[in-house]
């Protein structure tokens, strides 16, 4: 008969591709029982939507079945329980596994279209998905789904979401029709709370919330009421949009919501005559990673038909949309188990002291770090040319406050009132190595 140690050791070669560790060390194996030649256990994943779930199951069965004396292997798949939702008399989010906000601080970047396609792509993979249009003043979901006047009813004091080809959808636009929402801030917050927490979402793998642009009361209300699992920031590769990306990152970090990554929308188009792919604003996947330390979840093209979400297969033939959904699954799972592994940062006189996890330390001049700010105000997006004149930066500039952003970056508020610069850990390391070479 196989021992518990032998069963566990047989599965230590099964590596989670996102966390980089084996499933035994990560504590994924639960309820292990051995009865003669019969072995049973549960693999507890980070999220029920884990894209490698069946791969894990197959590898576990193969590994344990190969042990001497094992006649059968029973593997159950489960998922970690998510953090509890804030309590209330009526709370329809208790059976939602993950709540994801899709955000942009600037309008016109295609945020609502991205949110809708993400919901459709997840639905096509067999998940139970809901989509909430939280933009009170400019709801886009009725237009995207060609559902302008659907019947919205109440059952047991719960709002019934509109079902569109199996997708549960709710929008204030369904209730208002073509009428404008002429509402003051507190009333808007009350509407959002009601539509969020009293919509009968039922059991969902994901609820996607299409936030309105900006960083005001509506966003804060949703963060407080929904206990978000993460946020996705949508941008276009333009300097003005990327300035707002920084603001969005800072907003979510201040309310302890992990930013899962960035979706770059309208980044390219294919010429109908020659088939050449053009990047009208330049290709910036690498610069986004360098600037913010966040992964680019997808690069979505400009093409006809993207604004039509009226059927389940909308976007099915666009590989970047499927990639986006897969990357979001992985990012959610990773955020649930990833322990903080970030450098230590301290301010000392006119230097920023950084110690990385590998033991490397550096003292960076505040003046030089400010002059090397990578934000879109200080660096031209298309050419990479510096826009900031070092002579305009005071030699005695100082850091008034700093904020560590997840495991990926740090933000500084400078004494010259500049606050939009986000420095990834890799970029700070590059600055440190550049400085050490200059002093040799």
* pLDDT tens profile 323-354: 999 999 888 888 877 655 678 899 998 999 99
Residue 355 has pLDDT above 80, yes or no: yes
Q: Percent of the chain, pLDDT > 70?
A: 84
Query: Which residue shows structure tokens 């930013």?
Result: 259
Counting other chains too, the contacts that 424-429 makes at CB distance below 8 Å and 24 or more residues apart are 424/289, 424/290, 424/291, 424/292, 424/293, 425/293, 425/342, 425/343, 425/356, 426/290, 426/293, 427/290, 427/291, 427/293, 427/374, 428/343, 428/354, 428/362, 428/364, 428/369, 429/356, 429/360, 429/362
User: Among candidates 67, 64, 53, which has minimal Cα distance to 16?
Assistant: 53
Q: Percent of the chain, pLDDT > 90?
A: 28
| pLDDT at position 65 | 94
Please tell me the least confidently modeled range out of 237-251, 266-280, 334-348, 401-415. Answer: 237-251
Q: What is the mean pLDDT of residues 407-416?
A: 86
- 439 pLDDT band, cuts 50/70/90, is very low
Residue 89 has pLDDT above 50, yes or no: no
Question: According to the per-residue pLDDT averaged within each range, which of 103-107, 145-149, 395-399, 401-405 is highest?
Answer: 395-399
User: Among candidates 77, 18, 14, which has minimal Cα distance to 328?
Assistant: 18
| pLDDT at position 290 | 66
Residue 285 has pLDDT above 70, yes or no: no
- For 287-313, the DSSP string reads HHHHHH---EEEEPPP-TTTT--SSTT
Does 3.40.50.720 match the CATH number of domain 96-337?
A: no
Report pTM: 0.73
Question: According to the per-residue pLDDT averaged within each range, which of 88-97, 119-128, 213-222, 243-252 is highest?
Answer: 119-128
Query: Which residue shows structure tokens 């508020």?
Result: 413
Q: What is the mean pLDDT of residues 50-55?
A: 83
CATH architecture of the domain 344-439 equals 2-Layer Sandwich (3.30)
Could you tell me if residue 187 is left (phi over 0), alpha (psi between -120 and 50 degrees) or otherwise beta?
Answer: alpha
CATH number of 4-79: 3.30.300.130
Give the start-to-end residue ranges of the domains of the chain. 4-79, 96-337, 344-439
| pLDDT at position 28 | 93
Q: What end-to-end distance do the CA atoms of the chain give, in Å?
A: 64
Please tell me the least confidently modeled range out of 75-79, 347-351, 415-419, 436-440. Answer: 436-440
Distance CA 93, CA 420 (A): 34
Distances from the Cα of 212 to the Cα of 126, 186, 295, angstroms = 28, 16, 23
pLDDT digits (tens, 9 = 90+) for 167-190: 999 987 786 655 544 455 456 666
The mean predicted confidence, pLDDT, of the chain is 82
Alpha-helical runs (H) found in 38-144: 53-65, 111-124, 141-144
DSSP conformational letter for 354: E
Please tell me the least confidently modeled range out of 28-42, 185-199, 221-235, 394-408. Answer: 185-199
| pLDDT at position 377 | 80
| pLDDT at position 23 | 92
User: Higher-confidence residue: 32 or 421?
Assistant: 32
Instruction: Check: CB of residue 259 under 8 Å from CB of residue 252.
Output: yes
């Amino acid at each position: 008969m196989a021992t518990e140690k032998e069963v566990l050791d047989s599965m230590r070669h099964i590596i989670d591709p996102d966390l980089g560790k084996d499933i035994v060390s990560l504590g994924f194996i639960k309820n292990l029982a051995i009865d003669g030649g019969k072995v049973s256990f549960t693999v507890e994943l980070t999220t029920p939507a884990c894209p490698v779930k069946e791969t894990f199951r197959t590898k576990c069965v193969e590994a344990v079945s190969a042990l001497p004396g094992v006649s059968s292997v029973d593997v159950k798949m489960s998922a970690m329980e998510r953090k509890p939702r804030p309590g209330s008399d009526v709370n329809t989010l208790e059976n939602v596994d993950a709540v994801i906000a899709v955000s942009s601080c600037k309008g016109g970047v295609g945020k609502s279209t991205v949110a809708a396609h993400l919901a459709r792509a997840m639905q096509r993979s067999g998940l139970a998905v809901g989509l909430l249009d939280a933009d009170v003043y400019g709801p886009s979901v009725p237009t995207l789904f060609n559902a302008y006047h659907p019947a919205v009813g109440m059952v047991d004091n719960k709002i019934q979401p509109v079902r569109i080809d199996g997708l549960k959808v709710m929008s204030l636009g369904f209730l208002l029709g073509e009428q404008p929402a002429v509402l003051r801030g507190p009333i808007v917050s009350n509407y959002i709370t009601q539509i969020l927490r009293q919509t009968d979402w039922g059991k969902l793998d994901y609820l996607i919330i299409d936030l309105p642009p900006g960083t005001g009361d509506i966003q804060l209300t949703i963060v407080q009421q929904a206990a978000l699992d993460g946020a996705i920031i949508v941008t276009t590769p333009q300097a003005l949009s990327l300035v707002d990306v920084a603001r969005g990152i800072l907003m979510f970090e201040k309310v302890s919501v992990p930013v899962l990554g960035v979706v770059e929308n309208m980044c390219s188009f294919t010429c109908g005559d020659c088939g050449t792919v053009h990047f009208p604003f330049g290709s910036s996947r690498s610069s986004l990673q360098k600037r913010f330390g966040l992964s680019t979840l997808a690069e979505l093209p400009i093409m006809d038909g993207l604004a039509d979400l009226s059927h389940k297969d909308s976007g099915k033939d666009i590989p970047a949309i499927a990639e986006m959904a897969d990357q979001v699954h992985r990012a959610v799972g990773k955020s649930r188990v990833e322990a903080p592994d970030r450098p230590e940062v301290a301010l000392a006189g006119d230097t920023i002291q950084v110690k990385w996890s590998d033991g490397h330390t550096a003292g960076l001049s505040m003046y030089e770090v400010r002059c090397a700010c990578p934000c879109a105000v200080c660096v031209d997006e298309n050419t990479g040319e510096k826009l900031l004149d070092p002579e305009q930066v005071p030699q005695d500039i100082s850091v008034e406050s700093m904020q560590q952003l997840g495991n990926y970056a740090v933000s500084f508020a400078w004494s010259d009132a500049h606050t939009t610069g986000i420095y990834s850990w890799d970029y700070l390391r590059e600055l440190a190595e550049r400085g050490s070479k200059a002093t040799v």
